[in-house]
Amino acid sequence: MSTTPGDLKNRTRTFALRVLRVFRSLPDSREARVLGQQLLRSATSVAANYRAACRARSHRDFVFKLGIVEEEADESLFWLEFIAEAGLLPRTKLDDLISEASQLTAIVVASRRTAKNNNRQSAIVNRKSS
């Protein structure tokens, strides 16, 4: 199943909204607020930076911004796992989001790799035709 940029925009936004609901359900404690804010920042950054990548001004800018999305998706995965391991929420409540963060990370890693390779191939073809 291929994922279009529009599909991924919706998917990253939905991910951020789902994380917001998890954030709101965290216990009212200092550590839950701190960890929840870290998660909320990284998850919303996935959506915002993917949107920015789609509006990149150059191929190089696109690859750079996808790198940020990759880092933020992986960080979101870390915070979700950490919140479960810290016992702030049951793992079962977070399993779907953990899976989604993992899938988003994998999709962005593959997309970034493809974009970098396409750029290299284009540079090689341009040098040969010069």
**pLDDT by residue (tens digit) across 24-75?**
999 999 999 999 999 999 999 999 999 999 999 999 999 999 999 999 999 9
Give the start-to-end residue ranges of the domains of the chain. 5-129
AA letter at 105:
T
Nearest to 3 by CA among 98, 95, 114, 96: 114
**pLDDT by residue (tens digit) across 96-127?**
999 999 999 999 999 999 999 886 655 444 45
* Cβ atoms of 63 and 57 closer than 8 Å: no
CATH code reported for the domain at 5-129: 1.20.1440.60
AA letter at 99:
S
Element of type H or E holding 62: helix 59-85
Verdict on whether the full-model pTM lies above 0.85? yes
